[in-house]
Structure 1
Amino acid sequence: MKEFPVTAKRALELLGLVLIGFIILVGSNVIMPLLLAFFLSMLLLPVYRFLVGKKIPTSIAIIIPILILIVVVAGLIWFFSAQINVLVSDFPQIKKNINIHLNALSNWISGFTHYSTKEQIAFINEQSNKLLNSTGAILGSIFNSVSGAFIFFGLLPIYIYLILAYKNLLLKFCIMWFSDEDLPNVKESIQQIEKIIQSYLMGLLIQIAYITVLLGGILWIIGIKHALLIGVLFAVLNLIPYIGALFGNILGVLLTVSSSQEIWPIFTVLGVIAVVQFLDNNILMPRIVGSKVQINSLVALVGIVVAGSLAGISGMFLALPIIAILKIAFDRTNNFKKWGVLLGTDVPEKNPLRE
């Protein structure tokens, strides 16, 4: 059988990438809950296997870890609700603090520009009116987002249950695509994928816990208001590599500005966040996750941005584990090994063109 020319193979590969991107863009509402349910199923799999080993019926062994997951999520929702209630109760003081900061900023701007305080107020009122005129559209989009979130998370327990219940059928389906001589590589790949997903997701849960305790605890000891809320928000947003930390810093500063009339707490929060992030990136996280996810920074950042464009926030959260799975598959196939090299961290010491 005559093989395709190399250029035709490359063209088909690129066409496949474009087609996959189009499918994700069009069907993200269906695909992302399924992917998230798959990853959570891998995280719950050890608990399921433990219960099955204790002779517990399969259906109950699936329901128990799902209930544990629901309780954990409900606890997080309760915590956020309690913190938001505290924030709302402080609203009069927050409004007063913001006015003080705005007046100070206005005086500072007036000191080196030709814009007077009256002109600045007129500009702010103009922008506020524009914002109010678009309130209907904003509320509509928020309603759609909330209703979409309820559908998204409502489907997750069902998907997780069915994936765990039919995992052997799904494994058989995957294996049937390959010849007998490829089975050892296929089995090894599946075991590696399961191991990486479990270690990565467990590492993220541990990361959320220690960043919340470390960051929130230090800020609380210093006397920063809403310290725990800042810690949790930064820990959750930090799950999105590179981009999440930036938004975490911004929210931390905004919460600090709204709760204090002084400037020093802002620099304190930024300094503590920088120290905690340094410890997380260079000491704690490498020891927890180790070197299991070998993805270079360029591909990770591009993958997160592309996934966010195609599938929103859920795509950004799932980008790295999906890229890690693709790398495992690419490294074990001759036709796609070059893509595995592109995703990895094995940088040649010398210029390949000069070898």
Structure 2
Amino acid sequence: MIKPIELPFYAKIAFILVTFLAIGFIFCIGKDVITPVLMAFLFAVLLMPVFTFLNLKLKFPRHLAAIISVLIFALFIIGILVFISYQVTDIANDFPTIKKNANAFILDIQKFIRENFHISIGEQKKYIDNVAKDSVKNGNANIGSALISVTDLLLDCTIIPIYTFLFLLYKNHFILFFAKLINKENHAVLKDILSQIKVSINNYIVSLIFEMIVVSVLTSLGLWIVGVKYFILLGLITGILNLIPYIGILIAGIITIFASLTGTPETSVILSILIVNLIVQLIDNNILVPLIINSKVEINAMVSIIGIIIGGAVAGISGMFLAIPLLAILKIIFDRIESLEPWGYFMGNHVPKRFIWRIRKVKTEN
């Protein structure tokens, strides 16, 4: 029997750091391929109960069960997009009113700046014109980037359903592949890891959907009380964009303020919208996220924030969305491998109330 090699602590740390750097480098150079695969994996885990019901209960062939599962999910997404596009068309019809109210709102802001900061309206317009000229100079690059982004989005919308179908179809094949990678005595641990990953991802995605619904309802109710037109659409957009950490709610607030100009340019309405978004975010961050999200993935806030920032730097919005479930998967693996258990504890949110160092006294003989 081959004895395992015992390495000093500093060597283990060095190997861990090199491994993390290698994985990060692979993600950076292959994000266009890896990101759709990971998104499809999450959707496949979410659709697994539907696939299992169709395949085992209703006796559908595996191919047909996988196709129907993906189609159900695609129709759900398409239904939401159709509703949003229908409402956006109504907002587009009110564009002349939006333009008129926007000009009135900008004029009020310019008067406020002139009265409080003693900057004339002419100087403000001159500054805005200079900024506009700089934007025009960089317009070609921005248009090119936008076209590339749209192309990538269309490609992902095509390839992700295909990947999801393949994950569902070859589920047992992948499990057998992992089983062949490790020794038979560790198969029980592998089975536990895979089952916990399935439960964790399912709970996380279902919790996200529930959080999205609650945020949408609360925002719609608040906007209805304030008197904003299209409050249902704006509440739904806020709930969907809230899935994007940090920047999602900012984008939703800008869209809501822009849409509110279909009714009135009054500053009080815009302030009311900001207050509504602030209250909903306080409820979301202090009640919904701790009770619904954090309780499912069991990852502490510091690791979550660092993971989201790294995910955003590597793969943009998709990386920010994937950060939490990937961290949850890593924690499940770390918790069940003895040598990696300290890292799983570090990622967790179980903070002891008190820790006392217990140092054993050693008697020395003279």
Task: Please confirm whether the aligned pair reaches a TM-score higher than 0.5, indicating the same fold.
Answer: yes
Tell me: CA distance 1:84–1:133, structure 2 relative to 1, closer, same or farther (3 Å). Answer: farther
Summarize the alignment of residues 35-184 of structure 1 with structure 2, pairs less than 5 Å apart: 35-53=38-56, 54-184=58-188
Q: Does 1:332 align with 2:340?
A: no
Once residues 215 and 299 of structure 2 are traced to their aligned partners in structure 1, the CA distance between those partners, rounded to angstroms, is: 23
In the alignment, which residue of structure 1 is the partner of 2:191?
187
**Structure 2: segments with no counterpart, 5+ residues:** 360-366
Q: Does 1:10 align with 2:5?
A: no
Where 1:56 maps in the other structure, the secondary structure is coil
Is residue 242–residue 301 contact of structure 1 (8 Å, CA) maintained in 2?
A: no
TM-fit CA distance, 1:217: 3.6
Partner AA of 1:46 in structure 2? P
17-26 vs 206-215, which deviates more? 206-215
In the alignment, which residue of structure 1 is the partner of 2:28?
25
Where 1:261 maps in the other structure, the secondary structure is coil
Once residues 318 and 350 of structure 2 are traced to their aligned partners in structure 1, the CA distance between those partners, rounded to angstroms, is: 29
Is residue 220–residue 234 contact of structure 2 (8 Å, CA) maintained in 1?
A: yes
Once residues 226 and 239 of structure 2 are traced to their aligned partners in structure 1, the CA distance between those partners, rounded to angstroms, is: 19
Partner AA of 1:220 in structure 2? W
Q: Does 1:298 align with 2:339?
A: no
| RMSD, aligned CA | 2.2
In the alignment, which residue of structure 2 is the partner of 1:203?
207
**Structure 1: segments with no counterpart, 5+ residues:** none
TM-fit CA distance, 1:123: 0.8
Report the structure number with the largest CA radius of gyration.
2
Partner AA of 1:49 in structure 2? T
Once residues 10 and 307 of structure 1 are traced to their aligned partners in structure 2, the CA distance between those partners, rounded to angstroms, is: 23
In the alignment, which residue of structure 1 is the partner of 2:322?
318
Partner AA of 2:229 in structure 1? K
Tell me: CA distance 1:115–1:222, structure 2 relative to 1, closer, same or farther (3 Å). Answer: closer
In the alignment, which residue of structure 1 is the partner of 2:236?
232
TM-fit CA distance, 1:282: 4.5
Tell me: CA distance 1:351–1:76, structure 2 relative to 1, closer, same or farther (3 Å). Answer: same
TM-fit CA distance, 1:300: 0.7
Where 1:129 maps in the other structure, the secondary structure is helix
Summarize the alignment of residues 218-297 of structure 1 with structure 2, pairs less than 5 Å apart: 218-256=222-260, 259-284=263-288, 288=292, 291-297=295-301
Tell me: CA distance 1:19–1:50, structure 2 relative to 1, closer, same or farther (3 Å). Answer: same
Once residues 331 and 17 of structure 2 are traced to their aligned partners in structure 1, the CA distance between those partners, rounded to angstroms, is: 17
Is residue 308–residue 316 contact of structure 1 (8 Å, CA) maintained in 2?
A: yes
Once residues 292 and 150 of structure 2 are traced to their aligned partners in structure 1, the CA distance between those partners, rounded to angstroms, is: 34
Once residues 348 and 242 of structure 1 are traced to their aligned partners in structure 2, the CA distance between those partners, rounded to angstroms, is: 29
Is residue 105–residue 267 contact of structure 2 (8 Å, CA) maintained in 1?
A: no
TM-fit CA distance, 1:114: 4.2
Where 1:140 maps in the other structure, the secondary structure is helix
TM norm structure 1: 0.93
TM-fit CA distance, 1:246: 4.0
Where 1:176 maps in the other structure, the secondary structure is helix
Is residue 91–residue 259 contact of structure 2 (8 Å, CA) maintained in 1?
A: no
Once residues 358 and 11 of structure 2 are traced to their aligned partners in structure 1, the CA distance between those partners, rounded to angstroms, is: 27
Once residues 250 and 300 of structure 2 are traced to their aligned partners in structure 1, the CA distance between those partners, rounded to angstroms, is: 20
Once residues 280 and 121 of structure 1 are traced to their aligned partners in structure 2, the CA distance between those partners, rounded to angstroms, is: 39
Is residue 24–residue 310 contact of structure 1 (8 Å, CA) maintained in 2?
A: yes
Partner AA of 1:79 in structure 2? F
Where 1:172 maps in the other structure, the secondary structure is helix
Is residue 226–residue 269 contact of structure 2 (8 Å, CA) maintained in 1?
A: no
Is residue 91–residue 262 contact of structure 2 (8 Å, CA) maintained in 1?
A: no
Partner AA of 1:24 in structure 2? F
User: For 1:108-135, what per-residue CA distance to the aligned partner results, in whole angstroms no more than 9, with x for missing partners?
Assistant: 2122334211111111111112112222
TM norm structure 2: 0.90
